[in-house]
């Protein structure tokens, strides 16, 4: 079990640029989640995939955010036209369909928008 892997660990970008993050879940896990976390707060749900299907997105998720999970394996999260308010830790988690809400998290990608 190599755990959930996220790349890059850190990303600094200028306002207005596009960024893409990658998540490699635990290999047999069919569920994949993206969360965002700002300093001093708990994680905030962004979106959920079951295999390759995106089944749920947060109502608060801006149209500038898009996520994919081609072939039900790794996932990417893209933020277009970044804003300073997008600065946060972006966390990916995976789980088995049979495991309820027992999620395995990666160590996140920290985004700083200058």
Closest contact distance (angstroms) between CB of 101 and other proteins is 5
Q: Does 51 bind other proteins (CB under 8 A)?
A: no
Residues 62-101 binding other proteins (CB under 8 A) are: 91, 93, 100-101
Pick between residue 22 and residue 80 the one whose CB is nearest to other proteins. Answer: 22
Tell me if the bond preceding 8 is cis, omega within 30° of 0: yes
> Nearest distance from residue 50's CB to other proteins, in Å?
8
Write the DSSP assignment of 15-60 as a string of letters: TT--EEEEEE--TT--EEEEEEE-TTS--EEEEEEETTEEEEE-TT
Ramachandran class of 82: left when φ > 0, alpha when ψ lies in -120 to 50, beta otherwise = beta
Interface contacts to other proteins, rule CB under 8 A: 4, 31, 33, 40-45, 48, 55-56, 58, 91, 93, 100-108
């Amino acid at each position: 079990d190599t755990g959930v892997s996220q790349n890059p660990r850190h990303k600094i970008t200028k306002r207005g640029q596009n960024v893409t993050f990658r998540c490699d879940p635990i290999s047999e896990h069919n569920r994949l989640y993206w969360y965002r976390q700002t300093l001093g707060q708990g994680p905030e749900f962004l979106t959920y995939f079951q295999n390759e299907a995106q089944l749920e997105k947060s109502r608060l998720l801006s149209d500038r955010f898009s996520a994919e999970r081609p072939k039900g394996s790794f996932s990417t999260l893209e933020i277009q036209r970044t804003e300073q308010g997008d600065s946060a830790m972006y966390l990916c988690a995976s789980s088995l369909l049979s495991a309820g809400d027992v999620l395995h998290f990666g160590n996140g990608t920290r985004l700083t928008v200058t």
